Each structure stands twice: as structure tokens, then as C-alpha cells.
Copies of this chain bind each other. A is one copy, B any other.
Amino acid sequence: MRRVAVIGVGFTKVGEHWNSSLRDLYAQAVLRAVSDADLELRDIQAMFIGNMSSGYLQAQEHLGSLLATHLGIQGIAAVKIEAACGSGGAAFHQAVLAVASGYYDFVIAGGIEKMTDVRTEYLTSALIMADDQEFVASTGVTFPGLNALIYRLYMEKYNVRQEDIAQFPVHEHFYAQFVEHAQYRYPITLEQVLESTIVADPIRLLECSPISDGAAAVVLCPLDIAMKRRKEGIVEVIGSALSTDAISLNEREDPTTFIATVKAAKRAYRMAKIEPRDVDVVEVHDAYSILGIINLEDLGFAEKGKGVRLVKEGEIARDGRIPTNLSGGLKARGHPVGATGIYQVAEIVKQLRGDFGKNQVDDAEIGLAQSIGGVGGTVIVNILKRIR
């Protein structure tokens, strides 16, 4: 098994890109990542593209060939990887396998989703395809609706108040102020969250990640090649795991914990030979505020039912014990679904390089990114470590 490094990252601002097509947006991210890696496009041998809904939203499949063509590097191996909202994280995992296998040296893991310039009802339909169409989506339930069930059950089971859970997006918006690529760069207050429109009771609007356009890319290569080529900015992938779970909540014993997170994290920690306490900086998949809390617990940073304490006691702050979502997270950086998992990895890489600006965690050495597909039907956990 070859050791794998990340040597380049690139992404667009997350937001409404009405003047860029899917391919243009994607190309911007790749060009930045390749340049950051100090490579030329012609060095790239394979590309794994995380995307969920291009078929339904853009009537465009075959992104591998399309995007390789647009970049002028047709000839390379390129495929689309789909695992619902976790497509980006899954594409990164595939890229790791591709380099580890010895088949490819310079590989791009990319993610792209273009969501803001389609009709809202199309988006609702597109997103619920992450759950079981025949037995769940067909009831008319929406994605916020499913997460509202988790939210309410969690509050009841652990006797936790919404005021505490709703601190999570407040935390994220605070940090997003200092993140150039974030979709919403302004602070919000707890009162604003609790008074915002109800989307699916009890979930309030300001607890929901937005609809976003965005593209991100990272360049991977064997660690030994990275060491020869670069003096600094080398980050190793020390753990990478993807786990599935029953696709629908009704098939789970306990919907307030994501077993796929627990399993993927366990594998990734074991592979990395670390414990949760060794992690210096984290990005979790907070599509809704409640998921931010649940993820912190399932990743081993807090006991079940105690996740809100990490927020309340400042432990997920920049100078806390387990700095989390300093990018603004899905809520404030934004959530272009198939790209989000790659944004997370890119942000962790920048943290480990000491290149995260005002939100830089002091001397961050090990970082973790967690990406979710559906309501936890797929979870990908990637652990990265600064080598030099």
C-alpha cells in the first residue's frame, strides 16, 4: 500500500455563480489546485469527480469525459463518483485508492455541484433522491423533514434544548466572517436563529445549510514523489474510510447516532494509529445544526448527548480543544453537495499548512474531515497529517 499525499488544493467561492457553467466552475477549481501543486495539467493521470445531481439538474451525465475535455486533458482516466451529499468525500476516497494502488501517480479528486440556477422544486426532488425513493421519498417527506425527526428525537432522548443545538450555526457564522470563499460572511445571533422561519419543525431556517454552487479540487500523489518534489506543504492521508448504513431512518435502531460515522471513524483512526484526542482540527458535515452536534459525538469527541457542551464551553472554537468547522461549515461556507467533501479536505489541508488566515489553529498537525451522504446512509472520514 503506497502512502498518499495531498500536494495541491483549489476551489471557487461558494455562492450563486449564475455566470459560470458547471464546467467553467469546475475548471477554475482544478486549475487552482494544479497550480498550487506546482504541476501542469498534462501531469494529471486520473480524475475522480464527486457530483450528485448533474443528470437531474443539468441533464448532463458523463462528467468524466466532459470535464477532462473542457480542461483539455482528455485521454486521462476520469469518472463521476456519486454517494449523494457525500459524493465529494467519496471521490476523495477513490482518489486515495487510485494512488495507493500504484496505477496512477498524479490524481485529482474534484467536486462540483451547480444548484442555484434551477427551480426550487427540482432541488427538493433532487435532494430526496438520497433517500429511498420507493419507500420514503414517495411519502412526500423532504430532506429537512427527515432531519427534523432526528432533531426532535435527539432533544427528547438526551434532554437537550434547541437553544443549545442552535449555537452551532452561530459558531460557524462567526468564523465564516474571516473565510474568503464562504457563502455567508456575516455573524448571526442565537436569537436570530431561534426567530428565523420554521422550515420543518423544530428546524429553523438559520439551522439549515443553503443551496450553493461551488467546485473544489485537490491533487494527490504518492508520498515519496511528493517528498522529492516539494520542500513544504506536504500533507499525508493517514486514514481514509467509507462506510454505509441503512439508507432510511426507519431501518435504524437509533436515528440519533450515525453508525456509518462511528464505523468509518473507527477504521480511519485505526489506520492512522491515532485517537480522537490527537486530532487538532475538524470539518464535519453539518447540513443541519443537529448534525453538527451528532457528528462531534459519533466521531468520538464527546459522549452521546453531550455534544452541545463542546459548543457551549468553547471547545470547538479556534483556540479550543477540538476546533471545528472554522470554514463556516456547510451552514456558512455553503453546501454545493457533491463538492462539499472536497472543500472540507482542502480546508483541512490549508489548516495543516498553516495557511488558514485569521481562523488558523495554532500548530495544527492532524486534521479530520467527515462527509455524509443522505441521512447518514454513507459517511466518509478522512484523516490528514502535516509531514512538512
Contact = CB atoms under 8 A, between A and B. Distances in A.
Contacts of A287: none
A188 interface: no
A103 B247 contact: no
Contact of A77 (B58, B69, B241): B241
A128 to B, nearest CB: 8
Contacts of A46: 242
Contacts of A240: 103
Q: Which of A52, A75, A82, A94 has the most CB of B within 10 A?
A: A82
Given A79-B94, A82-B82, A101-B101, A61 B52 contact: yes
- The size class of the interface chain A forms with chain B is 35 or more
Interface in A38-74: 46, 52-53, 55-56, 58-66, 68-69, 74
Nearest to A84: B62
Nearest to A57: B55
A21 interface: yes
Contacts of A242: 46, 77-79
A118 interface: no
Given A1-B102, A129-B55, A65 B378 contact: yes
A82 B61 contact: yes
A83 B243 CA distance: 23
Contacts of A383: none
Nearest to A83: B79
Interface string A118-131: 00000001100111
Q: Which of A21, A84, A93, A247: most chain B CB closer than 10 A? A: A247
Given A97-B97, A97-B101, A245 B74 contact: yes
A292 interface: no
A137 interface: yes
B103 A62 contact: no
A82 B66 CA distance: 12
A194 interface: no
Contacts of A97: 94, 97-98, 101, 103
B378 A64 contact: yes
A107 to B, nearest CB: 10
Given A61-B129, A69-B251, A90 B83 contact: no
A155 interface: no
Contacts of A374: 62, 65
A100 B130 CA distance: 30
7 contacts: A56-B56, A61-B84, A62-B84, A64-B377, A65-B374, A69-B245, A75-B260
Given A61-B82, A66-B247, A76-B243, 7 more contacts: A62-B129, A62-B131, A63-B82, A65-B373, A69-B244, A74-B246, A79-B90
